[in-house]
Amino acid sequence: MPGFLLRRLGQAGVTILGVVTLIFFVQRLTGDPTYLLVPETATQADIDALRTALGFDRPLFVQYLDFLAELLRFDLGQSVVQRVPVTTIIASRMPYTLMLAAGALVVACGIGIPIGVLLALYRETLLAKFAAGLVLSAQSMPTFWSGILMILVFSVLLGWLPPSSTGGFSNLIMPSVALGLLSMATFARITRAALLDELSKDYARTARSRGVGTGRMLFRHLARNASIPLITVAALEISNLLAGAVIVETVFAWPGLGQVTVQAILARDFMIVQGVVLLGAFVTVFLNLLSDILYSVVDPRIVLEKAR
Amino acid sequence: MMRAAKTALRWWPLAILALAVLAAVFAPWLAPYDPNQQNLLGRLRPPGTTSRSFHYLLGSDELGRDLLSRAIHGARVSLVVAFASVVLSGTLGTALGMIAAYRRGWIEMIVMRVVDVFLSIPAVLLAIITVAVLGPSLLNVILVLALTRWPRYARVAYGQTLSVVNMPYVKLAALMGAGAWRILLRHILPNIVGAVSVVATLEFGLMILFEAGLSFLGLGVQPPTASWGAMLSTGRNYVSTAWWVATLPGFCLFVLVLAVNLTGDAVRDRLDPRLR
Amino acid sequence: MIGKLRSVRLALAAAAFIGLGLPQAHAAKDSLVVDLVNEPSSLDPQVQWNPDSYYVYRNIFDNLVTRDDKGAIVPQVATSWRQISDTEIEFDLRGDIVFHDGSKLTADDVVFSVKRITDRAFASPQLGQFDKIVDAAALSPTKVKLVTAGPYPALLAQLVKLSIVPKAVVEAVGKDAFNLKPIGSGPYKFEAWQRGVQVTLTRNDAYWGTKGPFPSVVFRAVPDGATRLANLQAGSSDLIVTIDADQAAQLKNAPRAKALIGLTERVAYLRLNTTKPPFDNPKARLAAAHAIDKAGLIEGILGGHDKPVPELLTPAIFGWVDGIQAPAYDLAKAKALLAEIGPAAKAEIDLATAPVFDQRIVQAVQQMMTDAGFNVKIAMSDMASYLRRAQAGPEATSLLSFGRWSCACQDADGVLFPLLHKSSGWSAYRNPKVDTLLEEARATLDANKRLAAYKQVHEIVATDVPVVPLYQAVVIYGAAKNLEFTPTPNESMFINRMSWKD
């Protein structure tokens, strides 16, 4: 077990270094932010002067080493556009990202899992078919379309919910639904597959033949075993939600990390992009590790060595 | 009679797909007008109106172009992007995953670490960064999607290959002197293609939506190319005064992605015997 | 000059009195909510050049001079000024301005602000607007002298953008802290910045000039235009920026919102790369000018608000000359000219643009040029790539590019020089005559001489067509029905010039 953990940690380190390096160089293929920072009337000399002052005239490799050195000191650097530390920016956006991810997860699990159960146990009923259609429909609409329709109906027409931005719980509802609808189908699908898998196993068949009710069985046995694949998916979905909510955040003016990162990409504000991607990589790697460990807790049959 | 109706009902997603493919292939013959021909005097006209030489069956857009013609041509972008990116990323990912699992050693290590790296960066962000580097265009959108999505296939292909590679018949083939390529293509690929297809069916609908999302961010195909994503993202600015501009491409996108997803679900049920 | 200014100020004060005098109007609107596109990048007025920051910080700071709603340069911190020599100018300052921390604004603060922004090591993106100033000196607590390197006619126009920061505070807290908690002398005080969410300002009740009508103002970042419009219609915001004419038309029948539209100094243009085929041939350039139906663009797409221009300026800019004759829209003539050129006219032309520009205009331009017989392809890239390529010089830049130019200085030197003079990266034109005229106009303080030089430039542009000037752009805001606000040519947004009518 310690050997396995060490190896996994080593792999995680390599992965994160790879992420950082890739993002560093790919971004810098697109030039630097100086043209975006200066007024139209700036001369080439002004632009060059600013570039030098910001350090973008140095050889790429020097900048890269500099960046790595800063990272080792746990310094993510400063945004050249906003001129504040990247950590300040990430820290201010983080609560909103977490809120939105949590809200979306609640929507996705709250609807997706019951529908998955429905699909596994009562596959042929009309209700199940309707539910399946609903789940798939929700996944088939671009969020920038469903988002603005929701705003127009629930805010402009009915006046029930605030149209955008933050403020209270009511502001969180529409973005959570818009984002949650996307992963709902994934949860339904996995739940259904996992349940069917368990149902076909001997213990479930025996229990059934003994006349144990479906409901009881569901809570006694199936839930525990079927939750394993669900944990994995949830882990993957969380990391997707963290920075993947770009469009939902843009439409609802929700100040999460996704929005600030897209703006930073377009503004060539490299340090912010690097910081967010690095954080995302950490979270992904950590969650993967955690889900491996959780596996073995939920299901002692799984030995950690086996995982990859 | 009832039975025929039921069969028809079951097959409608495929019919939609076929319809979309037909529209894409025969767009120039099906579309009533040139999708890019503008008519500034007939902007944002509702369905059924006539302006100059145009008769707008389904209305006109913000430059007076015929929406029906643009929707028909738009099928091309969605399908080409989705199909090409799935094939490209599927092929690349499967090949790398198989080789990594078969060769093991340092190849395995490098490939799987690169897979980890790519999977640790949110695909949307990576796509936006690369489009910014390459510049938006149809080809670049396809390349970017292929580049960001291949690791998903690689991981599945890798896992499946690992479980197949020790089967007696594969070992036998190796003993009989079959080359690595022959073993990979003849003996391993047929056994893992099912699992890879499952990923592909999930990805296909996602790629259509991805293209639309890039268009929304101004990083999709070049204007004036008709693409449902681009039409929808401009049309949404006019929802309250000219609802038809966004509704048509929105409906097309929705129905196509839904049909793809339903077909995908059906395919998965077939391929995955556990779910029977 | 001063007398006229005083009457302007009186009028402003009277307007404010009417707006504020009614007690219920005061109570009805405690807080104004403004939706910007992005959040300000920074509120230190000297470390950025960015419209969303400008909207906010201009209410926190006073500038040396400012422009009234019509666009004339009027006093703010400086009450009067006189040119001592070609390179020296003296300013008399108000003695009654107090920073938000209670300290007095003196000549030292003005000198400090000038020296701070012109210090190369400070790396202000705005350096280029002020680097003609070589020295600043305080002659008395209310008198400042600025020295320029040679005669610099656009100096006052540039000083409209110079915000005065408090020397003592900046030196005490340092650059980074000042950025987080800016202190100025303007009609609004910085209250809080919830990063990513909103910036809140509160009224400076001790302000020396026209006080703000709202006790507090909230600036929010709402990147999606459709969402901004929905916010306004739902009543969750009172003022939104950056909407187009079609969106403005949607507000026509809105129960509680309206569109505010004003002509600006911004000029839309097509720049031709005169060094490469087909535009190395003057006939092809002339054909391009004849191919574009400016009135058609404006009436057809822009809702008829913008105004076609025959020269590369707008009437809101010094240097505008009436009566310039530009090639008129004439499709037959354009086709005939292209036919004379023969196959060379068919060279592929890339039309560079970025998502921030109005894609309807770009596509319509493409259609018009295609109708004339050109072979135009749109090349859209993100703004950073667009700017880099646009300033890459004739060898590397695109054959055709669409742009909307504003120097935020309302002076021809900030438009014509960068777009035409050979020393500028933006220019894809090489004409020694034009270069000389532009240099002459830049080197004299004589307004008539400058106008004469610019007139010649306009005439050359009209016949030789290095650029096709298109139209004077409007700025469109969406506003709550009760909000009174006059858009200005330089697209500024002064809260203390607004009022609220119930």
Most confident of A121-130, A221-230, B141-150: B141-150
pLDDT tens per residue, range C244-255 = 888 898 898 888
Asked whether residue C251 is domain-assigned, the answer is yes
Q: Which domain-ending residue is among A38, A72, A106? A: A72
Q: Do C384 and B132 touch (CB under 8 A)?
A: yes
Same domain, C127 and C194: no
Q: In chain C, how many domains are there?
A: 3
Residue A22 near chain B (CB below 8 Å): yes
Nearest to C385 by CA among A82, A23, B135, A273: B135
Residue B221 near chain C (CB below 8 Å): no
The model's confidence at residue C481, banded by pLDDT at 50, 70 and 90, is very high
Same domain, A6 and A129: no
- Contacting subunits of A (3+ beta carbon pairs below 8 A): B, C
User: Has residue A5 got a pLDDT over 80?
Assistant: no
Same domain, C285 and C432: yes
User: Has residue A236 got a pLDDT over 80?
Assistant: no
Lowest mean pLDDT across A235-239, C366-370, C439-443: A235-239
Q: Which domain-ending residue is among C166, C198, C229? A: C166
Q: Do A36 and C384 touch (CB under 8 A)?
A: yes
Beta carbons of B47 and B58 less than 8 angstroms apart: yes
Asked whether residue C11 is domain-assigned, the answer is no
Asked whether residue A39 is domain-assigned, the answer is yes
Nearest to B121 among A23, A140, A265 (CB): A23
- How large is the average pLDDT for residues C227-232? 93
| More confident site: A241 or A120 | A120
Chain C residues whose CB is inside 8 A of the A148 CB are 224, 226-227, 230
CATH number of B75-275: 1.10.3720.10
- How large is the average pLDDT for residues A78-101? 90
**The predicted structure's pLDDT at residue A305:** 43
Nearest to B223 among C244, C246, C363 (CB): C363
Same domain, A148 and A37: no
Same domain, C328 and C425: yes
Asked whether residue C208 is domain-assigned, the answer is yes
State whether the Cα torsion C306-C307-C310-C314 is positive or negative: negative
Beta carbons of B214 and B131 less than 8 angstroms apart: yes
Asked whether residue C13 is domain-assigned, the answer is no
Same domain, C288 and C255: no
Element (H, E) at A125: none
Q: Do C359 and B135 touch (CB under 8 A)?
A: no
Asked whether residue A163 is domain-assigned, the answer is yes
Q: In chain A, how many domains are there?
A: 2
**The predicted structure's pLDDT at residue C20:** 38
Asked whether residue A244 is domain-assigned, the answer is yes
- Beta-bridge partner residues of C353: C380
pLDDT tens per residue, range C22-61 = 333 344 588 999 999 999 988 999 988 888 899 999 999 9
pLDDT tens per residue, range C242-292 = 898 888 988 988 888 999 999 999 999 999 999 998 999 999 999 999 999
Chain A residues whose CB is inside 8 A of the C388 CB are 31, 35
Q: Do A39 and C226 touch (CB under 8 A)?
A: no
Lowest mean pLDDT across A207-211, A271-275, B37-41: A207-211
Q: Domain of C359: which CATH number?
A: 3.10.105.10
Q: Domain of C133: which CATH number?
A: 3.90.76.10
Q: Which domain-ending residue is among A72, A101, A117? A: A72
Instruction: Find, in chain C, the residue whose alpha carbon is nearest to that of B230.
Output: C359
Amino acid at C230: A
Asked whether residue C337 is domain-assigned, the answer is yes
Only one residue has tokens 């058609």, namely C296
C-alpha radius of gyration, chain A, whole number: 24
**The predicted structure's pLDDT at residue A299:** 60
Domain of A28 in residue numbering reads as 2-72
User: Has residue A244 got a pLDDT over 80?
Assistant: no
Q: Do B223 and C296 touch (CB under 8 A)?
A: no
Same domain, A25 and A154: no
Only one residue has tokens 């600030």, namely A260
Other CB atoms within 10 Å distance of the CB of residue B233: 26
| More confident site: A271 or A286 | A271
What does the alpha-carbon distance between residue C130 and residue C127 come to, in Å, rounded to a whole number? 6
Same domain, A111 and A201: yes
User: Has residue C296 got a pLDDT over 80?
Assistant: yes
Q: Do B40 and C379 touch (CB under 8 A)?
A: no
Same domain, C120 and C247: no
Q: Domain of C192: which CATH number?
A: 3.40.190.10
User: Has residue A178 got a pLDDT over 70?
Assistant: yes
Q: What angle do CA C386, C388, C394 make, to 5 degrees?
A: 100
- How large is the average pLDDT for residues C372-385? 91
Same domain, C125 and C203: no
Instruction: Find, in chain A, the residue whose alpha carbon is nearest to that of C127.
Output: A46
* A238 HSE (CA, 13 A, CB side): 19
Domain of C114 in residue numbering reads as 65-166
- How large is the average pLDDT for residues C472-492? 94
Amino acid at B11: W
Lowest mean pLDDT across A203-207, B272-276, C50-54, C78-82: B272-276
Asked whether residue A188 is domain-assigned, the answer is yes
Percent of chain C residues past pLDDT 70, beyond the cut = 94
The model's confidence at residue C167, banded by pLDDT at 50, 70 and 90, is very high
Q: Which domain-ending residue is among A21, A41, A72? A: A72
User: Has residue A213 got a pLDDT over 90?
Assistant: no
Q: Is A127 exposed, middle or buried (0-12, 13-18, 19+ CB in 10 A)?
A: exposed
Lowest mean pLDDT across A158-162, C27-31, C62-66: C27-31
What does the alpha-carbon distance between residue C54 and residue C35 come to, in Å, rounded to a whole number? 14
What does the alpha-carbon distance between residue C215 and residue C234 come to, in Å, rounded to a whole number? 22
Instruction: Find, in chain A, the residue whose alpha carbon is nearest to that of B118.
Output: A19
Same domain, A16 and A139: no
Only one residue has tokens 């040679």, namely C150
Nearest to B113 among A15, A143, A242 (CB): A15
Same domain, A68 and A97: no
Q: How many CB pairs under 8 A join B and C?
A: 66
Asked whether residue C6 is domain-assigned, the answer is no
Chain B residues whose CB is inside 8 A of the A273 CB are 125, 129
ipTM, two decimals, is 0.85
Other CB atoms within 10 Å distance of the CB of residue A85: 17
Same domain, A161 and A287: yes
Beta carbons of C419 and C407 less than 8 angstroms apart: no
- Please report, in tens digits, the pLDDT of each residue of chain B (276 residues total): 566 666 766 788 888 999 999 998 998 999 899 999 988 888 888 898 888 888 898 999 889 899 999 999 999 999 999 999 999 999 999 999 999 988 888 998 899 889 988 888 888 888 888 888 888 889 999 999 999 899 989 988 998 888 888 888 888 888 888 788 888 888 888 888 888 888 898 889 889 998 998 888 888 888 899 999 999 988 988 888 888 999 999 999 999 999 998 888 888 777 765 544
**The predicted structure's pLDDT at residue B2:** 60
Lowest mean pLDDT across A220-234, B66-80, C382-396: A220-234
pTM of the entire predicted model: 0.89
Instruction: Find, in chain C, the residue whose alpha carbon is nearest to that of A144.
Output: C224
Same domain, C277 and C243: no
- How large is the average pLDDT for residues C126-155? 92
The model's confidence at residue A227, banded by pLDDT at 50, 70 and 90, is confident
Same domain, A111 and A43: no
Residue A240 near chain B (CB below 8 Å): yes
Q: How far apart are the first and last CA of chain B?
A: 27
Only one residue has tokens 């739902």, namely C234
Same domain, C34 and C156: no
Q: Do A253 and C224 touch (CB under 8 A)?
A: yes
Cβ-based neighbours of A229, under 8 Å, separated by 6 or more: A190, A193, A194
Buried b (16+ CB within 10 A) or exposed e, C5-25: beebeeebeebbeebbeeeeb
- Beta-bridge partner residues of B51: B54
- Beta-bridge partner residues of C147: C88, C135
Cβ-based neighbours of A249, under 8 Å, separated by 6 or more: A100, A175, A255, A256, A258, A259
